[in-house]
Structure 1
Amino acid sequence: MIDDPIVEEIRRYRKEHAAKYGNDIHRICEALREKERTSGRTYVNRGPRLLKDRDALPRVAEEPPEYGTEN
């Protein structure tokens, strides 16, 4: 495998950053959230959305009627 200096730099930065927070994912995420809050930028949360009328959606995963089984 070829050693890529850019990949190595990213890995080194990631290790240094994680070590700064004691390799604790919760502390790392909290620091990132704090950075978002204090940055002054607008962040978009594209969380899950509820479907308004689920029955109106096409059912593409169903078998076509000609392939249905008869009892």
Structure 2
Amino acid sequence: MIKDPIVEEVRKYRDEHVAAYGHDIKRIAASLREREAKSQRLLLNPGPKYLLRKTGS
């Protein structure tokens, strides 16, 4: 398998991030929600997408 340096870097930062929260998904999610709440960026929630029924024959 070919080693991609970008993928390796992303994995390294991901491993550091999860280790900072003790690999606890609830703590990770809580920190991301907190970061999102503090953000000054416009957050979009497009909601679910519904399929339209075909009409006609």
Deviations 1:2-58 (A, max 9, x none): 11111111111000000011111111111111111101111011222678xx7xx31
1:58 is aligned to 2:54: yes
1:32 corresponds in structure 2 to 32
Q: CA RMSD in A?
A: 2.3
**Letter matched to residue 35 of structure 2:** K
Instruction: Give the structure-1-normalised TM-score.
Output: 0.65
Higher RCO, Cα 8 Å, sep 6+: 2
- Please say which structure displays the higher CA radius of gyration: 1
Identity over aligned pairs, percent: 54
Alignment of 1:13-52 (within 5 A): 13-48=13-48
Give the ranges of 4+ consecutive aligned residues of structure 1 lying more than 3 Å apart after TM superposition. none
Which 5+ residue runs of structure 1 have no aligned equivalent? 65-71
